A and B are shown apart, each in its own frame.
Chain A
Amino acid sequence: MKKILFLSYLWIFSVQLNIMAQEVPLIIWPQMEQLLTKQNDTTYVVNFWATWCRPCIAELPYFEQLNKNYKSEKLKVILVSLDFDVELEQRLKPFLNKRGIQSEVYLLNEPDANTWINKVSPDWSGAIPATVIYRGNDYSFYEKSFQYKELDSLVNIKLKN
Protein backbone atom coordinates (compact mmCIF):
# COMPACT_ATOMS: atom_id res chain seq x y z
CA MET A 1 0.00 0.00 0.00
CA LYS A 2 2.76 2.33 0.96
CA LYS A 3 4.49 1.48 -2.27
CA ILE A 4 1.38 2.25 -4.31
CA LEU A 5 0.98 5.57 -2.58
CA PHE A 6 4.59 6.37 -3.27
CA LEU A 7 4.25 5.38 -6.91
CA SER A 8 1.10 7.40 -7.36
CA TYR A 9 2.83 10.31 -5.73
CA LEU A 10 5.67 9.97 -8.21
CA TRP A 11 3.16 9.75 -11.03
CA ILE A 12 1.31 12.90 -9.94
CA PHE A 13 4.62 14.67 -9.53
CA SER A 14 5.78 13.73 -13.01
CA VAL A 15 2.44 14.80 -14.52
CA GLN A 16 2.83 18.13 -12.81
CA LEU A 17 6.32 18.45 -14.17
CA ASN A 18 5.03 17.68 -17.62
CA ILE A 19 2.44 20.39 -17.36
CA MET A 20 4.93 22.88 -16.01
CA ALA A 21 7.79 22.32 -18.41
CA GLN A 22 6.36 23.76 -21.62
CA GLU A 23 8.74 23.01 -24.48
CA VAL A 24 9.18 26.00 -26.77
CA PRO A 25 11.14 25.16 -29.89
CA LEU A 26 12.94 28.07 -31.53
CA ILE A 27 12.12 27.92 -35.22
CA ILE A 28 12.97 29.82 -38.39
CA TRP A 29 10.91 30.28 -41.54
CA PRO A 30 11.29 26.83 -43.18
CA GLN A 31 9.86 25.16 -40.05
CA MET A 32 7.17 27.82 -39.80
CA GLU A 33 6.20 27.16 -43.40
CA GLN A 34 5.77 23.48 -42.59
CA LEU A 35 3.40 24.41 -39.77
CA LEU A 36 1.28 26.35 -42.28
CA THR A 37 1.20 23.77 -45.08
CA LYS A 38 0.33 20.43 -43.51
CA GLN A 39 -1.60 18.36 -46.00
CA ASN A 40 -3.89 16.17 -43.92
CA ASP A 41 -7.45 16.22 -42.60
CA THR A 42 -6.61 18.10 -39.39
CA THR A 43 -7.72 21.72 -39.00
CA TYR A 44 -4.87 23.91 -37.78
CA VAL A 45 -5.38 27.14 -35.87
CA VAL A 46 -2.13 29.11 -35.92
CA ASN A 47 -2.06 32.25 -33.81
CA PHE A 48 0.73 34.85 -34.04
CA TRP A 49 1.20 36.66 -30.75
CA ALA A 50 3.73 37.98 -28.23
CA THR A 51 3.88 38.42 -24.48
CA TRP A 52 4.10 42.21 -24.93
CA CYS A 53 0.95 42.39 -27.06
CA ARG A 54 -2.07 43.11 -24.88
CA PRO A 55 -4.86 42.23 -27.33
CA CYS A 56 -2.98 38.97 -28.01
CA ILE A 57 -2.90 38.06 -24.34
CA ALA A 58 -6.56 38.97 -24.00
CA GLU A 59 -7.52 36.36 -26.62
CA LEU A 60 -5.07 33.62 -25.55
CA PRO A 61 -7.64 31.99 -23.22
CA TYR A 62 -9.96 31.52 -26.22
CA PHE A 63 -7.30 29.58 -28.12
CA GLU A 64 -6.66 27.51 -25.02
CA GLN A 65 -10.38 26.87 -24.67
CA LEU A 66 -10.52 25.83 -28.33
CA ASN A 67 -7.63 23.44 -27.78
CA LYS A 68 -9.42 21.92 -24.79
CA ASN A 69 -12.94 21.76 -26.24
CA TYR A 70 -11.81 20.09 -29.46
CA LYS A 71 -9.41 17.58 -27.93
CA SER A 72 -11.37 14.69 -29.44
CA GLU A 73 -11.59 16.29 -32.89
CA LYS A 74 -9.05 16.68 -35.64
CA LEU A 75 -8.03 20.14 -34.54
CA LYS A 76 -4.69 21.52 -33.49
CA VAL A 77 -3.93 24.90 -31.94
CA ILE A 78 -0.44 26.28 -32.51
CA LEU A 79 0.72 29.46 -30.79
CA VAL A 80 3.58 31.21 -32.58
CA SER A 81 5.31 33.70 -30.32
CA LEU A 82 7.07 36.66 -31.91
CA ASP A 83 8.95 37.46 -28.74
CA PHE A 84 12.69 37.80 -29.19
CA ASP A 85 14.88 34.72 -28.76
CA VAL A 86 16.73 36.39 -25.88
CA GLU A 87 13.43 36.56 -23.98
CA LEU A 88 12.67 32.83 -24.25
CA GLU A 89 13.89 31.77 -20.80
CA GLN A 90 13.38 34.98 -18.84
CA ARG A 91 10.03 36.07 -20.18
CA LEU A 92 8.20 33.65 -22.48
CA LYS A 93 8.58 30.39 -20.54
CA PRO A 94 7.65 31.91 -17.15
CA PHE A 95 4.65 33.54 -18.84
CA LEU A 96 3.47 30.20 -20.28
CA ASN A 97 3.99 28.39 -16.99
CA LYS A 98 2.19 31.02 -14.97
CA ARG A 99 -0.83 30.82 -17.24
CA GLY A 100 -0.65 27.06 -17.61
CA ILE A 101 -0.73 27.24 -21.42
CA GLN A 102 -1.35 23.76 -22.87
CA SER A 103 -1.36 24.45 -26.62
CA GLU A 104 1.82 23.91 -28.64
CA VAL A 105 4.05 26.98 -28.56
CA TYR A 106 6.88 27.92 -30.91
CA LEU A 107 9.09 30.98 -30.97
CA LEU A 108 9.62 32.23 -34.52
CA ASN A 109 13.10 33.70 -34.59
CA GLU A 110 13.12 35.63 -37.88
CA PRO A 111 13.86 39.32 -37.15
CA ASP A 112 13.37 40.57 -40.72
CA ALA A 113 9.62 40.01 -40.88
CA ASN A 114 9.58 41.58 -44.33
CA THR A 115 10.95 38.30 -45.70
CA TRP A 116 8.05 36.19 -44.42
CA ILE A 117 4.92 38.23 -43.56
CA ASN A 118 3.63 38.09 -47.15
CA LYS A 119 4.20 34.33 -47.20
CA VAL A 120 1.82 33.92 -44.26
CA SER A 121 -0.63 36.17 -46.11
CA PRO A 122 -0.35 39.13 -48.51
CA ASP A 123 -3.29 40.58 -46.54
CA TRP A 124 -1.24 40.79 -43.35
CA SER A 125 0.09 44.28 -42.54
CA GLY A 126 2.26 42.89 -39.74
CA ALA A 127 0.00 43.94 -36.86
CA ILE A 128 -0.63 41.32 -34.21
CA PRO A 129 -2.69 39.47 -33.15
CA ALA A 130 -3.08 37.58 -36.42
CA THR A 131 -4.45 34.09 -37.01
CA VAL A 132 -4.45 31.45 -39.73
CA ILE A 133 -7.10 28.74 -39.76
CA TYR A 134 -6.52 26.07 -42.38
CA ARG A 135 -7.25 22.53 -43.41
CA GLY A 136 -5.30 21.27 -46.38
CA ASN A 137 -5.55 23.96 -49.04
CA ASP A 138 -8.54 25.65 -47.43
CA TYR A 139 -6.59 28.52 -45.89
CA SER A 140 -8.02 31.60 -44.14
CA PHE A 141 -6.13 34.53 -42.65
CA TYR A 142 -7.40 37.04 -40.06
CA GLU A 143 -5.64 40.21 -38.87
CA LYS A 144 -7.87 40.87 -35.87
CA SER A 145 -8.72 40.04 -32.27
CA PHE A 146 -11.10 37.15 -31.61
CA GLN A 147 -13.82 36.32 -29.15
CA TYR A 148 -14.36 32.62 -28.43
CA LYS A 149 -17.71 32.36 -30.20
CA GLU A 150 -16.37 33.63 -33.51
CA LEU A 151 -13.30 31.44 -33.34
CA ASP A 152 -15.47 28.45 -32.55
CA SER A 153 -17.78 29.03 -35.52
CA LEU A 154 -14.88 29.56 -37.95
CA VAL A 155 -13.28 26.34 -36.78
CA ASN A 156 -16.56 24.50 -37.17
CA ILE A 157 -16.84 25.60 -40.78
CA LYS A 158 -13.40 24.18 -41.51
CA LEU A 159 -14.06 20.95 -39.62
CA LYS A 160 -17.26 20.30 -41.53
CA ASN A 161 -15.91 21.14 -44.98
Chain B
Amino acid sequence: MKKMFVILFMFIIAAQVSLAQYKIGDEAIDFNLKNIDGKMVKMADFAEAKGFVVVFTCNHCPWSKLYEDRIVELDKEFAAKGFPVIAINSNDPEAYPEDDFESMKIRAAEKGFTFPYLVDETSGLAKTYGATKTPHIFLLRKENAQFIVKYMGAIDDNPKDAKGVSKKYLANAIYDLLAGRDVETKETKAIGCSIKYRGEAE
Protein backbone atom coordinates (compact mmCIF):
# COMPACT_ATOMS: atom_id res chain seq x y z
CA MET B 1 0.00 0.00 0.00
CA LYS B 2 2.77 2.38 0.98
CA LYS B 3 4.55 1.57 -2.24
CA MET B 4 1.44 2.41 -4.20
CA PHE B 5 1.24 5.80 -2.55
CA VAL B 6 4.87 6.48 -3.35
CA ILE B 7 4.31 5.55 -6.99
CA LEU B 8 1.18 7.64 -7.14
CA PHE B 9 3.00 10.56 -5.55
CA MET B 10 5.86 10.26 -8.03
CA PHE B 11 3.36 10.17 -10.85
CA ILE B 12 1.70 13.36 -9.62
CA ILE B 13 5.07 15.10 -9.39
CA ALA B 14 6.01 13.91 -12.90
CA ALA B 15 2.70 15.16 -14.28
CA GLN B 16 3.29 18.55 -12.70
CA VAL B 17 6.82 18.81 -14.05
CA SER B 18 5.69 18.02 -17.57
CA LEU B 19 3.08 20.76 -17.38
CA ALA B 20 5.42 23.36 -15.90
CA GLN B 21 5.98 26.44 -17.97
CA TYR B 22 8.79 28.93 -17.85
CA LYS B 23 8.03 32.05 -15.89
CA ILE B 24 9.25 35.54 -16.65
CA GLY B 25 12.84 35.82 -15.41
CA ASP B 26 13.57 32.08 -15.71
CA GLU B 27 16.66 30.89 -17.54
CA ALA B 28 15.65 29.16 -20.77
CA ILE B 29 17.77 26.19 -21.81
CA ASP B 30 19.71 26.28 -25.05
CA PHE B 31 18.90 23.52 -27.55
CA ASN B 32 20.61 21.71 -30.39
CA LEU B 33 17.99 21.02 -33.05
CA LYS B 34 18.06 20.19 -36.74
CA ASN B 35 17.32 23.02 -39.16
CA ILE B 36 15.58 22.51 -42.50
CA ASP B 37 19.02 22.73 -44.19
CA GLY B 38 20.12 19.68 -42.19
CA LYS B 39 22.50 21.61 -39.92
CA MET B 40 22.18 21.64 -36.16
CA VAL B 41 21.36 25.02 -34.58
CA LYS B 42 21.78 26.27 -31.04
CA MET B 43 21.43 29.74 -29.57
CA ALA B 44 25.08 29.74 -28.50
CA ASP B 45 25.98 29.79 -32.23
CA PHE B 46 24.74 33.40 -32.47
CA ALA B 47 27.63 35.19 -30.78
CA GLU B 48 26.38 38.64 -31.80
CA ALA B 49 22.76 38.19 -30.72
CA LYS B 50 21.39 40.15 -27.77
CA GLY B 51 18.58 37.67 -27.50
CA PHE B 52 16.07 35.63 -29.47
CA VAL B 53 12.48 35.51 -30.54
CA VAL B 54 11.73 31.80 -30.12
CA VAL B 55 8.52 30.97 -31.99
CA PHE B 56 6.84 27.60 -31.55
CA THR B 57 4.92 27.18 -34.78
CA CYS B 58 4.06 24.59 -37.42
CA ASN B 59 2.73 24.20 -40.96
CA HIS B 60 -0.79 22.91 -40.49
CA CYS B 61 -2.26 25.37 -37.98
CA PRO B 62 -4.37 28.13 -39.56
CA TRP B 63 -3.40 30.55 -36.81
CA SER B 64 0.28 29.87 -37.48
CA LYS B 65 -0.30 30.50 -41.17
CA LEU B 66 -1.94 33.83 -40.38
CA TYR B 67 1.27 34.89 -38.64
CA GLU B 68 3.93 33.59 -41.07
CA ASP B 69 4.30 36.87 -42.96
CA ARG B 70 4.34 38.81 -39.72
CA ILE B 71 7.07 36.56 -38.32
CA VAL B 72 9.18 37.14 -41.44
CA GLU B 73 8.67 40.91 -40.96
CA LEU B 74 9.68 40.63 -37.29
CA ASP B 75 12.90 38.84 -38.24
CA LYS B 76 13.65 41.45 -40.90
CA GLU B 77 13.27 44.24 -38.37
CA PHE B 78 14.75 42.70 -35.24
CA ALA B 79 17.54 40.35 -36.44
CA ALA B 80 19.55 43.44 -37.39
CA LYS B 81 18.86 44.87 -33.93
CA GLY B 82 20.15 41.75 -32.21
CA PHE B 83 16.95 39.75 -31.72
CA PRO B 84 16.69 37.17 -34.52
CA VAL B 85 13.75 34.78 -34.87
CA ILE B 86 14.20 31.05 -34.34
CA ALA B 87 11.13 29.03 -35.35
CA ILE B 88 10.58 25.57 -33.89
CA ASN B 89 8.10 22.89 -34.89
CA SER B 90 7.33 20.45 -32.06
CA ASN B 91 4.25 18.80 -33.53
CA ASP B 92 3.91 15.08 -34.04
CA PRO B 93 3.84 14.41 -37.81
CA GLU B 94 1.95 11.19 -37.08
CA ALA B 95 -0.99 13.36 -36.08
CA TYR B 96 -0.30 16.09 -38.63
CA PRO B 97 1.48 14.72 -41.74
CA GLU B 98 1.89 18.25 -43.13
CA ASP B 99 4.13 19.05 -40.15
CA ASP B 100 6.83 16.58 -41.20
CA PHE B 101 10.39 17.60 -41.98
CA GLU B 102 10.00 17.62 -45.79
CA SER B 103 6.89 19.80 -45.56
CA MET B 104 8.74 22.21 -43.27
CA LYS B 105 11.36 22.75 -45.99
CA ILE B 106 8.66 23.37 -48.59
CA ARG B 107 6.69 25.77 -46.40
CA ALA B 108 9.81 27.75 -45.43
CA ALA B 109 10.74 28.14 -49.11
CA GLU B 110 7.21 29.17 -50.09
CA LYS B 111 7.00 31.81 -47.38
CA GLY B 112 10.61 32.96 -47.70
CA PHE B 113 11.61 32.25 -44.11
CA THR B 114 14.73 34.30 -43.31
CA PHE B 115 15.36 32.42 -40.04
CA PRO B 116 16.06 28.85 -38.90
CA TYR B 117 13.05 26.52 -38.85
CA LEU B 118 14.00 23.71 -36.48
CA VAL B 119 12.41 20.38 -35.78
CA ASP B 120 11.93 19.42 -32.13
CA GLU B 121 12.13 15.69 -32.75
CA THR B 122 11.01 14.58 -29.30
CA SER B 123 8.74 17.57 -28.52
CA GLY B 124 11.01 17.80 -25.48
CA LEU B 125 11.83 21.46 -26.01
CA ALA B 126 8.16 22.46 -26.19
CA LYS B 127 7.55 20.59 -22.94
CA THR B 128 10.55 22.19 -21.22
CA TYR B 129 9.58 25.70 -22.32
CA GLY B 130 5.91 25.02 -21.64
CA ALA B 131 4.85 25.78 -25.20
CA THR B 132 1.29 24.47 -25.52
CA LYS B 133 0.11 25.93 -28.80
CA THR B 134 1.10 27.44 -32.11
CA PRO B 135 2.08 30.16 -32.47
CA HIS B 136 3.57 30.57 -28.98
CA ILE B 137 6.32 33.13 -28.40
CA PHE B 138 9.20 33.20 -25.93
CA LEU B 139 11.33 36.36 -26.03
CA LEU B 140 14.74 35.69 -24.50
CA ARG B 141 17.55 38.09 -23.62
CA LYS B 142 21.15 37.03 -23.30
CA GLU B 143 22.48 37.93 -19.85
CA ASN B 144 25.98 36.66 -18.97
CA ALA B 145 25.71 33.75 -21.41
CA GLN B 146 22.30 32.81 -19.99
CA PHE B 147 19.04 33.17 -21.90
CA ILE B 148 16.46 34.85 -19.70
CA VAL B 149 12.73 34.80 -20.47
CA LYS B 150 11.56 38.42 -20.80
CA TYR B 151 8.20 38.03 -22.54
CA MET B 152 5.84 35.15 -23.37
CA GLY B 153 2.66 34.72 -25.35
CA ALA B 154 1.16 36.39 -28.37
CA ILE B 155 2.64 38.32 -31.28
CA ASP B 156 -0.09 40.96 -31.36
CA ASP B 157 -3.77 41.49 -30.62
CA ASN B 158 -5.32 40.62 -33.99
CA PRO B 159 -4.65 37.21 -35.58
CA LYS B 160 -7.35 37.70 -38.20
CA ASP B 161 -6.09 40.91 -39.71
CA ALA B 162 -2.54 42.28 -39.59
CA LYS B 163 -3.82 45.71 -40.63
CA GLY B 164 -6.22 45.75 -37.70
CA VAL B 165 -3.50 45.30 -35.07
CA SER B 166 -3.52 47.94 -32.34
CA LYS B 167 -1.20 46.33 -29.78
CA LYS B 168 2.10 44.87 -31.01
CA TYR B 169 2.79 42.93 -27.84
CA LEU B 170 5.99 41.22 -28.98
CA ALA B 171 7.52 44.14 -30.91
CA ASN B 172 6.81 46.46 -27.98
CA ALA B 173 8.55 44.05 -25.60
CA ILE B 174 11.63 44.04 -27.85
CA TYR B 175 11.57 47.85 -28.05
CA ASP B 176 11.48 47.94 -24.26
CA LEU B 177 14.55 45.68 -24.07
CA LEU B 178 16.40 47.67 -26.75
CA ALA B 179 15.72 50.88 -24.83
CA GLY B 180 16.98 49.30 -21.61
CA ARG B 181 13.52 49.48 -20.03
CA ASP B 182 11.66 46.82 -18.09
CA VAL B 183 9.22 45.06 -20.43
CA GLU B 184 5.85 46.66 -19.76
CA THR B 185 3.58 43.80 -20.83
CA LYS B 186 5.43 40.62 -19.95
CA GLU B 187 2.82 38.02 -20.65
CA THR B 188 -0.14 37.76 -22.99
CA LYS B 189 -2.40 34.97 -24.15
CA ALA B 190 -3.83 34.10 -27.53
CA ILE B 191 -5.87 31.30 -29.02
CA GLY B 192 -3.81 28.74 -30.89
CA CYS B 193 -3.67 25.14 -32.08
CA SER B 194 -2.66 22.84 -29.27
CA ILE B 195 0.74 21.24 -29.90
CA LYS B 196 0.44 17.50 -30.33
CA TYR B 197 3.50 16.24 -28.44
CA ARG B 198 5.21 13.22 -29.94
CA GLY B 199 4.75 9.83 -28.39
CA GLU B 200 1.53 10.70 -26.58
CA ALA B 201 -1.62 8.70 -27.07
CA GLU B 202 -4.72 10.32 -28.50
Residues on A facing B (Cβ under 8 Å): 50, 52-55, 82, 84, 86, 111-114, 117-118, 124-129, 143, 145
| CA distance in complex: A125, B196 (Å) | 14
- Kindly supply a per-residue 1/0 record for chain B positions 65-87, scoring 1 wherever the CB is within 8 Å of any chain A CB and 0 otherwise: 00000000000000000000000
Known contacts: A127-B193, A127-B195. The answer to whether A111 contacts B158 by CB under 8 A is yes
Closest to B60 in A: A54
Partner of B164, one of A111, A126, A128: A111
Residues from chain A with a CB closer than 8 A to the CB of B202 are 145
Partner of A113, one of B62, B96, B164, B191: B191
Residues from chain A with a CB closer than 8 A to the CB of B190 are 113-114, 117, 126
Check if A127 sits within 8 Å of B62, measured CB to CB: no
Check if A82 sits within 8 Å of B62, measured CB to CB: no
Known contacts: A84-B160, A127-B133. The answer to whether A113 contacts B193 by CB under 8 A is no
Among A55, A114, A128, A143, the most chain B Cβ lie within 10 Å of the Cβ of A114
Closest to B156 in A: A112
Check if A143 sits within 8 Å of B132, measured CB to CB: yes
Chain B contact surface mostly: loop
Give the Cβ gap from A41 to chain B, nearest Cβ, in Å: 31
| CA distance in complex: A28, B41 (Å) | 43
CB within 8 Å of A: which B1-59 residues: 21
Check if B158 sits within 8 Å of A52, measured CB to CB: no
Interface size on B, residues (CB 8 A): 29
| CA distance in complex: A129, B160 (Å) | 19
Check if B132 sits within 8 Å of A127, measured CB to CB: yes
CB within 8 Å of A: which B144-202 residues: 153-154, 157-161, 164, 167, 169, 188-196, 202
| CA distance in complex: A54, B169 (Å) | 28
Residues from chain B with a CB closer than 8 A to the CB of A125 are 21, 132-133, 136, 189
Residues from chain A with a CB closer than 8 A to the CB of B167 are 112
Residues from chain B with a CB closer than 8 A to the CB of A82 are 191
Residues on B facing A (Cβ under 8 Å): 21, 61-63, 95-96, 132-133, 136, 153-154, 157-161, 164, 167, 169, 188-196, 202
Residues from chain A with a CB closer than 8 A to the CB of B62 are 52
Known contacts: A52-B62, A111-B164. The answer to whether A129 contacts B191 by CB under 8 A is no
Residues from chain A with a CB closer than 8 A to the CB of B188 are 114
| CA distance in complex: A16, B105 (Å) | 48
| CA distance in complex: A128, B158 (Å) | 17
Residues from chain B with a CB closer than 8 A to the CB of A84 are 160
Check if A126 sits within 8 Å of B189, measured CB to CB: yes
Closest to A108 in B: B191
Known contacts: A52-B62, A114-B190. The answer to whether A126 contacts B133 by CB under 8 A is yes
| CA distance in complex: A126, B56 (Å) | 14
Closest to B164 in A: A111
Check if B133 sits within 8 Å of A111, measured CB to CB: no
Closest to A129 in B: B194
Give the Cβ gap from B129 to chain A, nearest Cβ, in Å: 12
Closest to A117 in B: B189
Check if B154 sits within 8 Å of A114, measured CB to CB: yes
Check if B153 sits within 8 Å of A114, measured CB to CB: yes
| CA distance in complex: A53, B133 (Å) | 12
Known contacts: A111-B164, A114-B153. The answer to whether A55 contacts B189 by CB under 8 A is no
Partner of A114, one of B132, B161, B189, B193: B189
Known contacts: A112-B167, A127-B194. The answer to whether A118 contacts B189 by CB under 8 A is yes
